[in-house]
Amino acid sequence: MNDIAGNGVGFTASINSQEWHVAWYPPPDPPSGTPHGAEAVCVAGDRIVVVSEDRQRWGLPAGRPERQEQWVDTMRREVREEACAEVLDCRLLGFSRGVCVRGPQEGLVLIRSMWRAEVRLAPWVPRFEMAHRRLLPAEEAFQFLTIPNGLGPFYRRLFAEAAISRPNIHDL
């Protein structure tokens, strides 16, 4: 298993019972494919925000674009909706490019922007799909994420780019 995703180097991941080849691309320009939204490592002081629909699977605030949203606008909206937080400052870290190679969406190429967002938390009033929010010390956040099989190197890269303590390879 690779420890961390390299630029443009694809690896195989199992996502929603489909096989995807996923690669990390650095900013500023997205690789070719269909825009599929944004995901953010949200930093509130010395804590990372994680969200969940069911208290079983935890992830980072993320979602798909609405209408003709720009990458940053999708990220800001999803952070507001899913984490009840306001983005104070943000930095584009890179892009994921996923190509479905087996399953019902075979041939589909999806691009997602990846961010570090400094946030101010609002009172927790869930109104969308996420019903739970946790604040975790940066060094513990990675182990709480529910990472699809094969995406460990990608999330290690995300956390490294976000300047969050690099998780131990054995945490997966």
Bridge partners (DSSP) of residue 168 are none
170, part of any domain: no
* DSSP label of 12: E
Bridge partners (DSSP) of residue 51 are 59, 133
Residues 114-157: pLDDT tens digits?
Answer: 999 999 999 999 988 999 999 999 879 988 999 988 999 999 99
pLDDT value at residue 100:
97
d(CA 17, CA 109): 16
Bridge partners (DSSP) of residue 75 are none
pLDDT value at residue 1:
44
154, part of any domain: yes
Q: What is the CATH number of the domain that holds 26?
A: 3.90.79.10
Give residue 37's domain range. 11-160
42: closest CA among 65, 61, 59? Answer: 61
3, part of any domain: no
169 pLDDT more than 60:
no
58, part of any domain: yes
Would you put residue 17 in left (φ > 0), alpha (ψ -120 to 50) or beta? left
Q: How many structural domains comprise the chain?
A: 1
Do residues 146 and 155 make contact, with C-beta atoms less than 8 angstroms apart? no
